[in-house]
Each structure stands twice: as C-alpha cells, then as structure tokens.
Structure 1
Amino acid sequence: MEAPPKPLVVVGSVNADLVLPIERLPKPGETLAAASIETVPGGKGANQAAAAARAGYPTYFVGQFGKDDPNASLLRGALSACGVDLTHAIDVAGPCGTALILLQAGGENSIIIVGGANQAAWNLSDSVRQLIATAGAVLLQREVPESVNVEVAKLAKDAGVPVFLDAGGVEGPIAPELLPCLAVLSPNETELARLTGMPTDSEDQVRAAAEKLMEAGVQSVLVKLGGDGSLLLPGQGKPAIRQKAIRAPEVVDTTGAGDCFTATYAVAVLEGKAAAEALQFASAAASICVTRKGAMPSLPAREEVDALVAAQQ
C-alpha cells in the first residue's frame, strides 16, 4: 500500500470578514452609503488552509479563535466544511480576528484588520511541534506575531520540512532569521517593493528585487503580479519562470485570490508537479476565485481547477 501524503500544515490567522460593498472609497470627511454588510469567514491563514483542502490535499490549520466571540463557531464551521482538520486549533480569551473589507465596484478591495486572537500570546504545544516536524510542508503568512513564524519556521527547517511564506499581512520587514528558513517566499509586487526598498514597476525590476531576497537566504521567490500573472525565481542560477494569468470572464471580488494562489501552488508542489505546471494550477485556482464574492466562499473545488487547467491545453 502506498503511504498517505504528508499533510500541509498552515499556521496563521483566522478572521471574521465584515464586507461592505461600495462604489468607491470615501474622500476625507465624506460619508458614503454601503448597500449591505455581510460577515464571511476569512483571514490569510484560514483562507490558505481552506484553499488547500478544497484543492483536495490533506490540510491542518493551526490557529487561534476567540472564545468570547460568537463568530468563532461560524469560522470553525466554514473551515471544517472545506475539509480542513482543526484538531490543533485552539480557543483563547477575547474576540476573534476581524477584518473590515471595503469592496469597491470592479472587485478591488481595501482592508483594515483588528488582530484579536491572532495577535494574542501563542504557545506551541508538543502535539503541534510534532505535527510540524512530520508535515509535507508548512505554510505561513504575516497576520500573527512574527515570533510565531520564526519559531515554526525553525522547527520545520530543523526537521527538513519546506516552509512557504506568503508575504501578505503586517507591513514591517521580515525578521532576518526567518529568511534562511524559507523554501518559498511569495509577495505581490507591492509587498516585494516594501520588503526590499527597490522599485518593482517593470519585470526586470521585479527580478532584481526578488534576487535581493534570495541573497538574504530565501531559496526561491514567487511574485504574484495580479492580472499580469506570476514570476518564479526557482533558485540561485536557475532561469526564472513566467506564468501568464488565466483571465477570468468577470472579476467580482479579488479578496482571497492571492491566498488561493499561494496555497494551491504549495499543493501542486507537494503533489510533485513541475514548477511551470504548479504555477498554471495555482493561476487556474485564482482565476476561478476572483469570479465570486468573499474570501473563503469563493475558493474553488479541485474538479473546477482541473477542468480549467485542461481547458488551457
């Protein structure tokens, strides 16, 4: 019998997303009316765990829910419904993380985050440490304390487990001791510019900035370029791989699309797909994601992604 695949372990944030659809952002001192307000499950960690599980890969989520928050049951239920294993997720005092999402006409969004339980004190249990050490890969983001990411990444690296870090979340610099632990660092071009202090207006500039991160110890850099696709620098001395975006028929909501891309890329790598094939798989998943409202509710099922990939052949 073939051994079951080693799981993907996502350590990170879970938020209740309060979504307000608006025509445009208000100007200073201006009041605008929103058509509605809706609470939907989100948070970069939870989104990525859900995306990986929806893509058919065994996925654990390690995170913190606020036990004093009525949204906690909504968030747990949504993750479980996507197939995420919550055995190692815990409840802590206080509210859950919350994100206020101003969703503009055309799908662009502006987000304000209140950390809540995500930013409370973390204590990695022995069972979580064992889970990390036996994982196929660990996936991190930047909506939990940086010290947590450093601790998890070092545990994983010491066990020979590859670490993926999505650069979305807090805007500060990445801890220098975290960078050499990363098999893959995935920023968008705005995050890449912020992390390196370099311009990212052209593809050559994007490559130069990504190479700076690799000089700091990162093994490979995957830059998300939105509607322009993605660019992977797979390692020192290896040629870059460019993936064009798979165009969506209509962009409804870009919330969660970057999380979907990073998570499904990790799944494809764990399944043994070559880099170009993994990029196409992730691009297909993100293309489906932007055609629907919400972060977690928009994540595609495996058969949808496979069908779109097949249609590109």
Structure 2
Amino acid sequence: MHASPWFQPNHRPAQFQRGHISELAVGHPPRPVPSLSASTRAATEAMAAEQKPLVVIGSVNADLVLPIERLPKPGETLAATSIETVPGGKGANQAAAAARAGYPTFFVGQFGKDDPNASLLRGALLGCGVDLSHSQDVAGPCGTALILLQPGGENSIIIVGGANTTTWNLSDGVRQLLAGAGAVLLQREIPESVNLEVARLAKAAGVPVFLDAGGVEGPIAPELLTCLAVLSPNETELARLTGLPTGSEEQVRVAAEQLMAAGVEAVLVKLGSDGSLLLPGPGQAAIRQQAIKAPEVVDTTGAGDCFTATYAVAVLEGGAAPQALQFASAAASICVRRKGAMPSLPSREEVEALLTSLQS
C-alpha cells in the first residue's frame, strides 16, 4: 500500500510518547477529570518547540446529561435519575483529545460572555492543555447540548448553537496561526461559511484540513470538499452526504469513493463497534481497523471526536495510516468506558498502556 502524498509527515516525526476539569453537578458532587501530569506537560512544551501545532476550529458546549432508561414516547413524561453539566462540543472535545494525547493544540472557538458556564468550559480546556489564546468571548450564551443517555452508552442529543453560531470574524492572529499549522481540524457545529473560509486559508498555505462530518445534517459545499485532506463521517453521516446505502462494508466503500470523486483526498469512516475504514486515496487499497472492544460501554458521547482527533495526532507525528488507526481506536475504546464527553478523554499514557497490553 502506497500512502497518499499528504500522509507523509512534513516535519520531523516523533514517536508515540508523553502523556481538573470541574463540573457543575445537580444532585452529585463534582467528578474531577485528571489534568495533565507534570511530565506530560513538560513533554508537551518540548514537542511544541519542534512541531507545527494542530489548530482546531469549532464548537464548545455545556452538555446537560440526563441518564434515562429509554427515550420517551410522544406525550410521555419520564424521570431522569440525575442531571449533570459537563464540558463538551465537538470542537472542544477534539481539541481536548488531541492535547491529552500529548500534541500541541490550539482551539479557536467562541464562548458566551453572558453564560456562567463559560468559566467551566474554559477551565476544562485549559486543564487538558489546550491553548485558548485565539478563542474569544461574544455576547449571549454558550452553546448547549441536551444529552439523553440510555443504558449501554447510547445517546440522543439536542443542540442549541448559542455562541457557536453567532457571527465569526477570523482575526489576523488566527490567520497567521492557520498558515503555520501542521493541520487544521474542523467539524459542523459552527457556520459552514466559517469552515469554508478556514479551509480556503489552510489550503492556500499548504496545510492539510480534516473535517469531522458530525454536526448539521445538510450537504457539504462542493468547494469545501475540494479543500479536504480527510473527511471523517460515521456510516449514517456518509449515507446522508451521498444519498447512498451504507449497510455493508462494500456499500461504505462505494459511498466513500463518491466523496473522493468530489475532490476529497481521503475518507475515514467511523463504524462504531465495527471499527473504522480508511480510503487513503483514489485507486489505493482501503485500510480496515477493527474496534478495540471495551469491557463495558458506559457512554459513547465524544467517542467519535476522540477518534478523529487522535487519528490526526498520530498522522501529524509521522505514524503510518494503519498505526494511526490503531492509536485512535485505542483512545476511543478508553473513552467509551467513562461518562461524559470531555471528562472521558484518555491521557497519552492510558492509550499507550492499552496498546502495550494488546501486544502482550
């Protein structure tokens, strides 16, 4: 298998090394999330000096999590066992996942200055090691997500865009940051016009753009597709984007090839408990990664974000595609074993420990 040209590292590769989020809880004491260890933080600073950063531009939400036995029927009222407010949002989750995986990461997002949850969200990202120097406060509330969490980890999510969907203005500092990035990671919980502007700037600077397809369900602008080094949908999102069935692996390949025909360089399809499938480029053999099974699935919220972000980290560090997929699969496997989106994200040490255990 010959890798697509963009998969070659554009700077000195690094080996997979390195390694208090507060919560506003109702009826529960705060459940802390481990911050970066001193050794991991020091290694992050050393790595930042020699590697181009990952720049994540996207959403940040306060997740209101309600555990329920099942979804209510029309007109039915059900009781939730509790309610917790935890940090989330696809952009913030991915930035936190990359930073906890040990890679220098900037998050460019918008926090609602009128929302008391803003300090919770900022503190969560900073605690994970994310650089927020290019994020900004805007009028109004932060983004909010209502997450109905069912037994077995399945969830249903309702999002209120808040600050994520108000007017965006990319500063000169952000534009300079994009030009010097190792890669840019986008999602679809902010206006598509912002994603397109960022992708144009990154492409013009020769910076690869990853787009996680999660978020809004509408089509992706054709020009945005042509700017993407990697598009990462799950099988449901892939079906919506292409209008093609994705019930079998062969159908997934056909649908992904349609996206590549539209200009996307590579397509990485997340298949949930069935793992993932990477089409690295037109005419190249697909790469299949089986899921690394979790002993117990507690909460799948944020697992897809964790997978996409840690895959990007592994590629930026010079990992070949199969190894990058395995690294991301291990990170996602740890993520689903714990509650919450950002609070469940694993450290670099945890991912490496799981990979080591699989080899023994």
Matched with 2:224 is 178
| Counterpart among 256, 278, 281 of residue 232 in structure 1 | 278
Task: Tell me how far 1:241 sits from its aligned partner.
Answer: 0.1
| Counterpart among 216, 222, 233 of residue 268 in structure 2 | 222
TM-score, structure 2 length as denominator? 0.86
Task: Indicate yes or no: 2:80 matched with 1:34.
Answer: yes
Task: Indicate yes or no: 2:100 matched with 1:54.
Answer: yes
| Counterpart among 100, 103, 116 of residue 149 in structure 2 | 103
Task: Indicate yes or no: 2:166 matched with 1:120.
Answer: yes
Task: Tell me how far 1:217 sits from its aligned partner.
Answer: 0.0
Matched with 2:112 is 66
Secondary structure of residue in 2 paired with 1:177: helix
Matched with 2:69 is 23
Kindly provide the amino acid, as one letter, of the partner of residue 94 in structure 1.
Answer: G
Matched with 1:269 is 315
Matched with 2:18 is none
Secondary structure of residue in 2 paired with 1:214: helix
Matched with 2:54 is 8
Secondary structure of residue in 2 paired with 1:181: coil
Matched with 1:280 is 326
Secondary structure of residue in 2 paired with 1:111: strand
For residues 222-281 of structure 1, the C-alpha deviation after alignment (integer angstroms, 9 at most, x for no partner) is 000000000000001110000000000000000000000000000000000000000000
Kindly provide the amino acid, as one letter, of the partner of residue 271 in structure 1.
Answer: E
Secondary structure of residue in 1 paired with 2:75: coil
Kindly provide the amino acid, as one letter, of the partner of residue 232 in structure 2.
Answer: S
Please give the root-mean-square deviation of Cα atoms over the aligned residues, in Å. 0.9
Matched with 1:75 is 121
| Counterpart among 151, 157, 163 of residue 197 in structure 2 | 151
Structure 2 gap segments, 5+ residues each: 1-45
Secondary structure of residue in 2 paired with 1:178: helix
Task: Tell me how far 1:310 sits from its aligned partner.
Answer: 1.6
How far apart are the structure 2 equivalents of 1:227 and 1:58?
Answer: 29
TM-score, structure 1 length as denominator? 0.99
How far apart are the structure 2 equivalents of 1:304 and 1:130?
Answer: 34
- Sequence identity, in percent? 85
Matched with 2:257 is 211
How far apart are the structure 1 equivalents of 2:68 and 2:128?
Answer: 29
Matched with 1:84 is 130
Secondary structure of residue in 1 paired with 2:226: helix
Task: Indicate yes or no: 2:249 matched with 1:195.
Answer: no
Secondary structure of residue in 1 paired with 2:185: strand
Task: Tell me how far 1:312 sits from its aligned partner.
Answer: 2.0
How far apart are the structure 2 equivalents of 1:63 and 1:54?
Answer: 18
Matched with 1:139 is 185
How far apart are the structure 1 equivalents of 2:109 and 2:223?
Answer: 22
How far apart are the structure 2 equivalents of 1:201 and 1:219?
Answer: 23
Kindly provide the amino acid, as one letter, of the partner of residue 162 in structure 1.
Answer: P
Secondary structure of residue in 1 paired with 2:322: helix
Task: Tell me how far 1:176 sits from its aligned partner.
Answer: 0.8
Secondary structure of residue in 2 paired with 1:294: coil
Kindly provide the amino acid, as one letter, of the partner of residue 236 in structure 1.
Answer: P
How far apart are the structure 1 equivalents of 2:221 and 2:144?
Answer: 25
